[in-house]
Amino acid sequence: MTTLSGKVAIVTGGASGIGRASCELIAARGAAVAVADLNLDLAKEAADAITNAGGRAIALRVDVRDEAQVARMVAETVTAFGGIDLLDNVVSYNTPEQSGADGEVHLMEIAIWNRAQEVNLRGPMLAAKYAIPEMLKRGGGAIVNISSTAGILALGVVPAYAASKAGVHSLSQSIATAYGKRNIRCNTVAPGFIDTPTTRNMGDQFFQMTLDNNVLPYLGKPEDIAEASAFLLSDAARYITGQLLPVDGGQTIHLPVVADMWRLATGKPLVQQQS
């Protein structure tokens, strides 16, 4: 098991889903955690769960589009815990998929494009901008930026979301290159389709279609992404920087027709859902 004992972490978008799972795991591995989220009530619930389990956590409300709020997030974390060693940028704006919003570029509302870039790309940049000086004071640190498989291969929908997530890895590479000699590492995790109440609400047909195109016979959980992030934040990954790790059940390793080809040849889905 990787340990984060004695470290201080900020997790943006930490109040629910992948973010909350990441906060809880990072805290369980020994780090103090600032749960930063736009929803302060949910952030407090997450922080309380960590402290009730014997960990250390604070809840912070932050809109990552606002530079002053991001700067305050970092300052309050330093005040609470004495410094910053780790940054896990989970924060994300999942843009609407309906036509005219973020489905087709020629119909896209520019506000959708702008918000996707502001939250998904500018937000992690601002968090890094203010966290990195604090990491340098402590001799280094580690950053994980959460991207998406939509930033690796096009879905044909959500182009604003996809473009912002593609940019996230370029940001990680730039940070890794600029600060490596100063002992700061930065990597990207690209989740595939993750099984959450939100994704379940997208409908059985969409859920099964996504499952069919995974290589593994199940979809990922928020904890799967948390495990990958915790590893990359830990000293066990001390020689890994600037890399992109898809955590996607094999979604991105095959041609897009594989599920249909398998069904044509065998009469069965490529994978069967497991209970």
- The pLDDT of 28-46, averaged and rounded, is 98
Would residue 91 count as lying in a domain?
Answer: yes
Encode pLDDT of 219-249 as tens digits.
999 999 999 999 999 999 999 999 999 999 9
Q: What band does 100 get if pLDDT is binned at 50, 70 and 90?
A: low
Would residue 265 count as lying in a domain?
Answer: no
Would residue 15 count as lying in a domain?
Answer: yes
pLDDT the model gives residue 257: 73
pLDDT the model gives residue 101: 66
**Do residues 90 and 12 touch, judged by C-beta distance below 8 A?**
yes
Please determine, for residue 109, whether its predicted confidence score (pLDDT) is greater than 50: yes
Would residue 156 count as lying in a domain?
Answer: yes
**Do residues 28 and 5 touch, judged by C-beta distance below 8 A?**
no
Would residue 212 count as lying in a domain?
Answer: no
- The pLDDT of 121-145, averaged and rounded, is 98
pLDDT the model gives residue 255: 81
Q: What band does 18 get if pLDDT is binned at 50, 70 and 90?
A: very high
Number of folded domains that form the chain: 1
pLDDT the model gives residue 263: 73
Q: What band does 12 get if pLDDT is binned at 50, 70 and 90?
A: very high
The DSSP code sequence of the chain is: ----TT-EEEEETTTSHHHHHHHHHHHHTT-EEEEEES-HHHHHHHHHHHHHTT--EEEEE--TT-HHHHHHHHHHHHHHHS---EEEE--------STTTTS-GGG--HHHHHHHHIIIIIHHHHHHHHHHHHHHHTT-EEEEEE--GGGTS--SS-HHHHHHHHHHHHHHHHHHHHHGGGTEEEEEEEE--B--HHHHTT-HHHHHHHHHTSSSSS-B-HHHHHHHHHHHHSGGGTT--S-EEEESTTTTSS-TTHHHHHHHHHSS-SS----
What the block records as the tokens of 160 is 């604003």
Please determine, for residue 103, whether its predicted confidence score (pLDDT) is greater than 80: no
Would residue 234 count as lying in a domain?
Answer: yes
Parent domain of 14: 8-203+217-254
**Do residues 196 and 226 touch, judged by C-beta distance below 8 A?**
no
Encode pLDDT of 183-229 as tens digits.
999 999 999 999 887 777 777 887 888 888 888 989 999 999 999 99
Would residue 74 count as lying in a domain?
Answer: yes
pLDDT the model gives residue 2: 75
Which CATH number goes with the domain that contains 60? 3.40.50.720
The pTM is what? 0.93
Would residue 269 count as lying in a domain?
Answer: no
Q: Which residues of 136-167 are buried (b: 16+ CB within 10 A; e: fewer)?
A: eeeeebbbbbbbbbbbbeeeebbbbbbbbbbb
Angle between helices 17-28 and 222-233 (to 10 degrees): 50
From the list 126, 159, 134, the residue with the least C-alpha distance to 9 is 134
- What dihedral angle (degrees, nearest 10) is formed by the CA atoms of 125, 61, 165, 117? -70
Encode pLDDT of 152-164 as tens digits.
998 878 899 999 9
Q: What band does 107 get if pLDDT is binned at 50, 70 and 90?
A: confident
Where in the sequence numbering do the catalytic residues fall? Answer: 161
